[in-house]
Every structure is written in structure tokens, then in C-alpha cells.
Chains A and B, each alone.
Chain A
Amino acid sequence: MSAAMRNPAAKPETADGPVVAVRDLRAWYRLRLFGVDREVKAVDGITFEVRKDEIYGLAGESSSGKSTLVKTIAGAMRPPLEIVGGEIQFSFMDGTMGLNRAPADLVERVRWRHLSYVMQGSMSVLNPVRRIGTSFFDFAFRHMGLDKAGFEAAVVAHLARVNLPASVLKAYPHELSGGMRQRVTIALATICRPQFIIADEPTTALDVVVQKDVLAMFRSIQREMASSVLFVTHDMGVHAHLTDRLGIMYAGRLVEEARTPDVFARPRHPYTRHLIHSLPRIGDDRPRSGLEGTPPSLANPPSGCRFHPRCAFATERCRVEVPPMEQVAPDHRVACFEKDRVEATP
């Protein structure tokens, strides 16, 4: 990767296109039991792409569908979850369905080599009865094409990047602290230098001080390898400091997407606006208000714009029509009929 590409002044669009492009993806949980059909539309018409060499943040609350989206992209779907429509295209493989309909041997080759996954609970990712070194061997050996000695040297060198001593290879997961374990899982996910990394709440279980170190390390690894990252967390503070672009999900749909500073400075969707204004800050005594109403049920979502029952700007049109995602500025898309009114309101 050339230095120019990492320069923030350079155009973010690179000639080689996005690493992953998701188009109108719909993934539903479908249950048919005793003649009763139940559909939970957890991902319902999502379009976005993750560009080369960027951290794309995905924010949303519990049951907004972000984990389902991640599972669908990673090809880790189990019934009753199924793809109902749409496309997932990776730059490193053919086909428009991503890993979901790909033959098993191709999935085997692509996973971890080109696409890897950092999960939330490091204790449940690492096998508790295998030493860390063995886990590295399990995950990465066949993808690296090295002999045993070469592989071990590569692992040790890579561990140094995440500030871990070689001695952790002999340790069992329970012998390490939470921060060290999370660094091990990040090292595991990045050792094959994949083009695309999915990180699902990787620092949520960590203490604030440790979280800061792990995030700084995560960014430096990403920068060095010029990978693309889909970074999922509900913590807006993490998004503000880490991600390049940010997508906000609400009830299975993307409602706003922009460069991260723009999301915080000029939110145009009422939900994003509320989310940002309700964050407490040290040194700021203005009262904060919680969102009224209840989070929508994905089994029976509100008609039209799914945010309308809780929205102060809602009109009759919002109750009936689904607002399309529209470009309002360079790299800024919003799905709201009242976006101009939202922006004009202080």
C-alpha cells in the first residue's frame, strides 16, 4: 500500500473499488411451526460498502440487526436465518452471494486468509483447554504456507506487533488477563494479513484504560496492513475516535451513513441526532433526555419509516412510505423525509 493512499487528503475512492459491497441485503429469521409463519426481518434492505484501507463503523442498539448483518457477511448463518434477497460482493472472490452459497472448499480457503473475525467474548473464542500457540496453529497454519519453524517465527513476530511476549504461546487462555486475551484474538485475526476484518464489539468487555490501548493497537495494525475493517459497536465514543465512516442502524435498516466527524457534527436523521445529543459528557451539565416509546419489534415493525412512532418530526407520509436512502452531501446518505427540517432545527 502506497503512502499516498493512507493520506487523509487523498480521495477515499480507490481505483480498485470496495473490498465488500452489500446491495439491498435482506436476511430474515423465518419460522414455520405448526402452520404458523413468523418472520423476523432483522436485516431489511441494507446497502453499503467498505472501501479499501478504512475502518467502517456500524452503530446501533441491541436488536437493531447489526449482529445478523455481521453473521450474514461472514457467512456464519444458521437456520432459521436465511438470505431473502440482495447481494454481497467481495473483491477477493467471485459471485454475488459472498460466502453463503459458495462451495465449502472455497469458504475454507477464503476464511481467515482474506476475511477474518474478531469476536466479543475472548474467553469463548479461545479454546480453554488448548494453549494459545496451539490455537494459532489451528487457525492459521494451513493458510500461511510456511513450515513449522517459519510459522512459529512469524507468529512470534506478529505477537510483538500487539505488544505480547512470545511466552503467551505456552499459556492457556485463563492465565491471561482480559486485555491480553483480546489482543491474542486480534493477533489471531490479523496474522494472515486478511483484506477484510470484521470486528464485532471487540472491546466492549474491557475496562476503559485497557480499551484505549487495545483500540490504539488495532488502528496501528490496520494502518500497517491497509486492511478494511467493519467495526461494530454500540459505543458512540469508540466510533468517534476510531472509525473513518459510520453507518447508523435502526430496526434492521441503515438510517444514516457519513464520514464519522460529519455524523457527529451534522446528524440529519432524527434518531442519529437523538443518539448523539443524549450522550453524557464530563464537564457538560445540560440535562439529557432518553428516547420516548419502546424499541420496535422486528417481528412486527412499524409501517413506513420504522422510527416514526418515536420521532418528533414524523408526518403522515412517514407512517406510510419507507424513506429511501438519499445522498445529501459527498459521502453522506440519509433515509428521512424530513432531513432538511431536522438539520435546520438547532
Chain B
Amino acid sequence: MTGALLELDSVSKTFTRGGLFSRTQVEAVIDVSFRLEAAKPEIFSIIGESGSGKSTLARIILALQTPTRGVARFKGRDLATLRDGADRHAFMAAVQPVFQNPFEAFNPLKRLDRYLYATCQRFAGAKTETAMQEGADKALRQVGLSLAEVKGRYPHELSGGQLQRVAIARALASGPSLLIADEPVSMVDASLRASIVNLFRKLRDELGLSIIYITHDLATAYSISDRIIIMQKGQVVESGDARTILADPKHPYSRTLKESVLEPLAPGERPLFAR
């Protein structure tokens, strides 16, 4: 297939706050445009602090919110024209979210395999129990787990890293072409973070999946992204190749952001807050 997988064309979103007399407008996303090619799967990072509009942008891409101005298109289809029914169903199968906190994303009283079965049944056309189990197992194997490890388990029985893998497997079960991962590693322990990051890279290379990685963590964004955009107060202040931008950010805000990242010291470097 040729053309754009996802295309945002000067998308803006304005929220209105207040009542009859004191109405204020909050511009969460202002004039954002970018394009992901269908033929070239990539990891595309959206970087920004809280309040920079990155989560609103994610909601627009997931068609949970319609832009106030501009158009968001997925495979050529304007997302604002999606209605409930077959169209939306097909869209949901193709674009799947992974959330920040796997402990909150899953119901603590519901067994994890149920989520996978439900997704397989609804989006992958699995009719029989065997087909659902096969689908769940296939998705779990893609993230380095297996159905035998997850079957009958509740969320509290797995570690944060494993649980986030299950969340990714659930998203993969519908056979998507785009994954929206909103801060997927910030709740995962540091020693397990690298394995989730490596998993995203593997999904891109082996399954040809495009991933939109939303984060405020420049270091992980640097290690996995192909392209990035940096957002401040709803606006894209810098965009392009990840390595080029993060090696030498041009915009003052990107520079502040990069300087604020606390990294382990190189030999001979002085700590920022030395005594």
C-alpha cells in the first residue's frame, strides 16, 4: 500500500472552560502537522512536558476527540467522519493504544487472559475458544511471553514490566498497523525499561508496525526514535530526525529540555547540585 498511514494537517484543538459569564478558551493543540508513511514503519516520538498537548494529540489520533480545526486522516480517511459501526470497528482494530500505568489499565479483579480473548474475538474474528487461545498465544509470543505464563493470572501476580508486555500483547492481538504508546515506560522499573524499549524496536522491524511514542523522557526517546517532534504549549517547536535534533537542539525550549535531563555523569563531569 502506498501513501500516508497517518496524516495530520494543521490540527488544532481548543477546549472551552467556564460557564455563561466567564468563558475561557484553552488551546491544547495548535496547528500540528505530520505524516507517517505506510511503506516505512517507524517509531515517531512526541516529546513535551505535562500540559504541552501531547495527550490531547494522542486522543485525536485515536479518534476519541475531533480536532477543532484541521484534519487528521488515517489511511486517507478523515477521522472526524468515523461513525459508530463497521468503520469505527475497523479503525479500532488498526490503531491501538498502550497506556502509562499497566496497574491502572487492567481491572484488578479480572483475569488477564480475558482481555486478550475479548480483543481476539472482537477484532481478529476468532469465533471458537481454540481460535481465541491461539490468537492470545500468538500475541503474547510477540512480546516474549506465552499464554501458559499468563493464563488464569490476575494483574497483581505479574511485575510492572510483564504487565506492560501483556498490555502491548493485547494491543497486538487485533493486528494493528499503528500503536499509540502514551508514556509506556514511566511506571516500569529502570532495569526492565530497556527490555520494553527493545521490544518496540523489535515490533517495528519484525511486524512492520508504526509506533507513536509519547514521552517526556528524552533519553529513552533518543534511544528508540526515528523521528521526533518537541511540543511546547500545544505547538510543535522542533521536529525532524531524532539523532540530529537531540544531538544539537536549535529551539531554546528544546535546549532547556535537554539541559534539564539528569543523566549519569561522564568521567570528570561535575554534578549539577554539588556541595
Q: Interface on A for B, CB 8 Å cutoff?
A: 6, 8, 61-62, 178, 207-209, 211-212, 215-216, 218-219, 223, 234-238, 240-242, 244, 260-261, 264-265, 271, 274-276, 278-283, 285, 287-291, 294-295
A192 to chain B, nearest CB (A): 22
Q: Which residues of A contact B162 (CB under 8 A)?
A: 294
User: Are B275 and A219 in contact, with the CB atoms below 8 A?
Assistant: yes
Q: Which residues of A contact B246 (CB under 8 A)?
A: 282-283
Instruction: Say yes or no: is B205 at the interface (Cβ < 8 Å to chain A).
Output: no
User: Are A278 and B190 in contact, with the CB atoms below 8 A?
Assistant: yes
User: Are A240 and B265 in contact, with the CB atoms below 8 A?
Assistant: yes
The 3 closest A-B pairs by CB, nearest first: A290-B195, A237-B262, A61-B189
User: Are A283 and B273 in contact, with the CB atoms below 8 A?
Assistant: no
User: Are A274 and B49 in contact, with the CB atoms below 8 A?
Assistant: no
User: Are A241 and B161 in contact, with the CB atoms below 8 A?
Assistant: no
Contacts known (A219-B275, A282-B246, A291-B192); A211 close to B260, Cβ less than 8 A: yes
Q: Which residues of B contact A240 (CB under 8 A)?
A: 262-265, 271
Contact of B275 among A6, A235, A238 (CB under 8 A): A6
Contact of B191 among A211, A244, A280, A291 (CB under 8 A): A291
CA separation between A294 and B259, bound complex, in Å?
34
Q: Which residues of A contact B247 (CB under 8 A)?
A: 282-283
Q: Which of B247-275 contact A (CB under 8 A)?
A: 247, 256-265, 267, 271-275
* Interface hit among B74-82, B92-100, B134-142, B217-225: B217-225
A26 to chain B, nearest CB (A): 24
By beta carbon, the residue of chain A nearest B161 is A290
User: Are B264 and A288 in contact, with the CB atoms below 8 A?
Assistant: no
Instruction: Say yes or no: is B50 at the interface (Cβ < 8 Å to chain A).
Output: yes
CA separation between A275 and B193, bound complex, in Å?
10
Q: Can you list 10 pairs linking A and B with CB atoms under 8 Å apart?
A: A62-B189, A212-B262, A234-B190, A236-B190, A236-B264, A241-B273, A274-B191, A275-B191, A278-B193, A290-B195
Q: Which residues of A contact B190 (CB under 8 A)?
A: 61, 234-236, 275, 278-279
Q: Which residues of B contact A265 (CB under 8 A)?
A: 267
User: Are A280 and B267 in contact, with the CB atoms below 8 A?
Assistant: no
By beta carbon, the residue of chain A nearest B223 is A280
A172 to chain B, nearest CB (A): 18
Contact of A264 among B189, B194, B264 (CB under 8 A): B264
| Cβ proximity bits B10-26 to A, threshold 8 Å, 1 near / 0 not | 00000000000000000
Q: Which residues of B contact A283 (CB under 8 A)?
A: 222, 246-247
CA separation between A26 and B133, bound complex, in Å?
45
Instruction: Say yes or no: is B216 at the interface (Cβ < 8 Å to chain A).
Output: yes
Instruction: Say yes or no: is B107 at the interface (Cβ < 8 Å to chain A).
Output: no
CA separation between A279 and B256, bound complex, in Å?
21
Instruction: Say yes or no: is B65 at the interface (Cβ < 8 Å to chain A).
Output: no
Q: Which residues of B contact A207 (CB under 8 A)?
A: 49-50, 216
Q: Which residues of A contact B161 (CB under 8 A)?
A: 290
Instruction: Say yes or no: is B160 at the interface (Cβ < 8 Å to chain A).
Output: yes
CA separation between A176 and B246, bound complex, in Å?
32
Instruction: Say yes or no: is B33 at the interface (Cβ < 8 Å to chain A).
Output: no
Knowing that A294-B159, A294-B162 touch, tell me 14 more A-B residue pairs with CB under 8 angstroms: A8-B274, A61-B189, A215-B262, A219-B275, A240-B265, A241-B271, A241-B272, A242-B271, A242-B272, A276-B264, A280-B194, A281-B264, A290-B192, A290-B195
Q: Which residues of B contact A276 (CB under 8 A)?
A: 264
By beta carbon, the residue of chain B nearest A54 is B275
Contacts known (A241-B265, A290-B198); A209 close to B273, Cβ less than 8 A: no
User: Are A280 and B264 in contact, with the CB atoms below 8 A?
Assistant: no
Q: Which residues of A contact B191 (CB under 8 A)?
A: 61, 271, 274-275, 278, 290-291
Q: Which residues of A contact B258 (CB under 8 A)?
A: 282
Instruction: Say yes or no: is B126 at the interface (Cβ < 8 Å to chain A).
Output: no
User: Are A261 and B265 in contact, with the CB atoms below 8 A?
Assistant: yes
User: Are A288 and B194 in contact, with the CB atoms below 8 A?
Assistant: yes
Q: Which residues of A contact B203 (CB under 8 A)?
A: none
Q: Which residues of A contact B193 (CB under 8 A)?
A: 278, 290
Q: Which residues of B contact A280 (CB under 8 A)?
A: 194, 197, 219-220, 222-223
User: Are A212 and B272 in contact, with the CB atoms below 8 A?
Assistant: yes
Contact of B49 among A208, A223, A260 (CB under 8 A): A208
Contacts known (A61-B190, A290-B195, A294-B162); A238 close to B219, Cβ less than 8 A: no
Q: Which residues of A contact B220 (CB under 8 A)?
A: 280
